[in-house]
Structure 1
Amino acid sequence: MSTPQQSTQPNPRLHTNWSGRTAVRFMNALAWLPLSWVRGLGWAVGHLLHTLAGKRRHIARTNWALCFPAQSEAERNRAVRQHFVVFTQSWLDRGWIWGASEATVRSRIKLVGDLDALSDDGAVAIFAPHFVGLDAGGAALSLAFSRNFISLYARQRNVAIDQWVRAGRLKFGSVRLVEKHESLRTLIQALRSGEALYLLPDMDLGPTDSVFVPFFGVPAATVPTLPRLAQLGRARVVSVISRLTPEGYEVTVLPAWRDYPTGDAQADTATMNQRLEEMIATMPEQYYWVHKRFKTRPPGEKPLYAR
């Protein structure tokens, strides 16, 4: 009887897990470095990625041209290059946000603004758009407030990375992660029980359940999750902006929105985008431009990202 031969092909899952563990060890090592060193590394790697990541560079330039059509090509290119730098710096910052001591994190993240908007009891939906410092914002809130927080979570493909991200987002305070595939009922029940929902509803998630509303004057497929949850969860809406600074981050809590939602999902979603535009105007390079924000087009319109 012949002996079955073992396959000599590498196991891609084992390779992926090995590379993930290596990446996690590297990120954890960054927690011990001075912030200036981490930011310097992010500056260098950000410029390198801007040169090498042609596809993402094209997406970011296309988004910028659509949203800021009055700017010249040179202005657009400088802004996109700076975006790659702060994007990379913020990603490396997760090493110390999730791996350094609580004292270090508190010393580098400053929470300002209308803190009473989150201190009051009752349901609150936190509008936390995709600025590069979004994880610093989550850490700041869970450190500062004793209330329970809930956030949607997208599982990472790599097991080691997934475990690291989960542990990081659960590190401080009382936080509960809900998988994105779970029903809205879970979020509604959480809001009605008084939990604060950290929500990032400003991405193009495809045509399903989306409405087309203006984003910098361009029709953008946007899910009406924020007004829907605010209405069903009987929650007030509070915006939180997380800004990367030389000292770390400044996280600003804005006053609760008045007369929102109105019950008109499309109009309320348009209002959300208008408020987001105002927030982006204060630090445009720190918004998440490498995402295809205009991937889904209205019927009959051509794709915008063709090269």
Structure 2
Amino acid sequence: MKLLVGLVWLLSWLPFRAISALGWAVGSLIAALPSSRRRIGEVNLRLVLPDWTPAARRRLLRQHFVAMVQMLLEYGYCWFASRERIQRLVRIEGLEHLRALEGRNVILMMPHFTGLDLAGQRISLETPLVSMYSVQKDPWLDEFFRTKRLRFGNGIIFSRQQGTRPTLRALKEGRRLYYLPDQDFGHRDSVFAPFFGVPAATIGGLSRMAAVGNAVVLPCYPRRETDGYTVVIEPPLDNFPTDDVVADATRMNAVIEAQARRQLHQYFWLHKRFKSRPPGEADFYAK
């Protein structure tokens, strides 16, 4: 693992366009190889883009593998690049929406797009953040990840095992919550809401935390471009949350779908987003 970290350190010295080219080469190769992840991506794209031809979906999946590999190679920037280089590599569009909420509790709703870690690090240079993470099994790796995520000194993170109380406390104390709400965590605490027209198990955490934390929700997403990233911060969701968790989940998924359709290859399609099914429905991923 330490050798891999050393390789990532070496990659951090490469220009962004070189990382893009290397990611294209490696990602295209991986996309051509049979794998369980490729099969998951094929199932997801068939579900969400049923009107596309199989050839068009295959091209999109190849583009997605490229974007995923580019993201992995860019962790060198996340872990080792200077503050000034991060600021040059990642621009922010819509920062005025965040600044207009000075003194308010804010949740930055960040879906699973490639570039989400660079985006979070960039936003943390503008405002104090709090976020949640999954503990790594390897203690050395877990400590390494924690240290690198916090290396600019303007954020704090809590493990999911600690629950939401510490995160909510930090939100109420003025830190902005960087929150990723769009993966399938099973039936517990989830409702079914449409995502690309497919019922998807959707956690109600965004509306609950916004209600308990008296917070404004700002949707955001990163957009990978030829010379870096642009983090787009959208206007706040009005009349959110409501007392209807299904309506809130439906609205959240609609926002994420609109963001994903602007850059389909940069959304995470290798996760079993539709694994949990309503009663009576078959498993989409069963062979």
- Structure 2: how far apart are the matches of 1:268 and 1:288? 22
Deviation at 1:60, TM superposition (A): 0.6
Q: Distance in 2 between matches of 1:266 and 1:188?
A: 22
Q: Distance in 1 between matches of 2:83 and 2:126?
A: 12
**Which stretch has the larger CA shift, 153-162 or 270-279?**
153-162
- Within the candidate set 59, 74, 95, 1:93 is matched to 74
What are the residue-to-residue correspondences of 1:239-254 with 2, within 5 Å? 239-254=219-234
Provide structure 2 residue ranges, at least 5 long, that are not aligned to the other structure. Answer: none
Is 1:77 aligned with 2:58?
yes
Q: Which residue of 2 aligns with 1:125?
A: 107
Q: Are the counterparts in 2 of residues 24 and 160 from structure 1 also a CA contact under 8 Å?
A: no
Contact 1:187 1:229 in 2 (8 A): no
Give the Å deviation of 1:132.
0.6
- TM-fit CA distance, 1:173: 4.4
Is the CA contact 1:220–1:296 (under 8 Å) kept in the aligned structure 2? Answer: yes
> Contact 1:118/1:124 (CA < 8 Å) preserved in 2?
no
The 5 Å alignment of 1:82-161 reads: 82-118=63-99, 120-145=102-127, 148-161=128-141
- The change in CA–CA distance for 1:96 and 1:116 in structure 2 (over 3 A counts) is same
Do the aligned partners of 1:128 and 1:241 also contact (CA within 8 Å) in 2?
A: yes
Report which of the two structures shows the higher radius of gyration computed on alpha carbons: 1
Q: TM-score scaled to structure 1, two decimals? A: 0.89
1:66 pairs with 47, 64, 67, which one?
Answer: 47
**Distance apart, 1:144 and its partner CA:** 2.3
Are the equivalent residues in 2 in contact too, given 1:90–1:133 (CA < 8 A)?
A: yes
- TM-score, normalised on structure 2? 0.95
CA contact (8 A) 2:97 2:236 kept: no
What's the counterpart of residue 302 of structure 1? 282
Please, which moves more after superposition, 32-41 or 237-246? 32-41
Q: Which amino acid aligns with 2:29?
A: L
In the other structure, the counterpart of 1:185 is 165
Percent identity reads: 39
Deviation at residue 51 of structure 1 after TM alignment: 2.5
Kindly state the Cα deviation for residue 95 of structure 1 after the two structures are TM-superposed.
0.6
The aligned counterpart of 2:156 is 176
1:195 aligns with one of 175, 178, 191? 175
List alignment gaps of at least 5 residues for structure 1.
Answer: 1-19
Quote the residue 2:252 is aligned against: 272
Aligned with 1:144: secondary structure? coil
- Tell me the CA shift for residue 53 of structure 1: 5.1
Contact 1:21–1:160 (CA<8 Å) still a contact in 2? Answer: no
Letter in 1 for 2:201: A
Q: Note the alpha carbon deviations across 1:170-224, whole angstroms, 9 max, x for none.
A: 1224110110111222222222222110000100001111111111111111110
SS of 2:161's equivalent in the other structure is coil
Cα RMSD, aligned residues only: 1.4
2:125 is paired with a residue whose SS is helix
**Take 2:138 and 2:190, find their aligned partners in 1: how far apart are those partners?**
29
Per-residue CA deviations over 1:29-77 (Å, capped at 9, x if unaligned) read: 1111222222222112111221235111111111111111110000000
Q: In structure 2, what residue type is equivalent to 1:155?
A: V
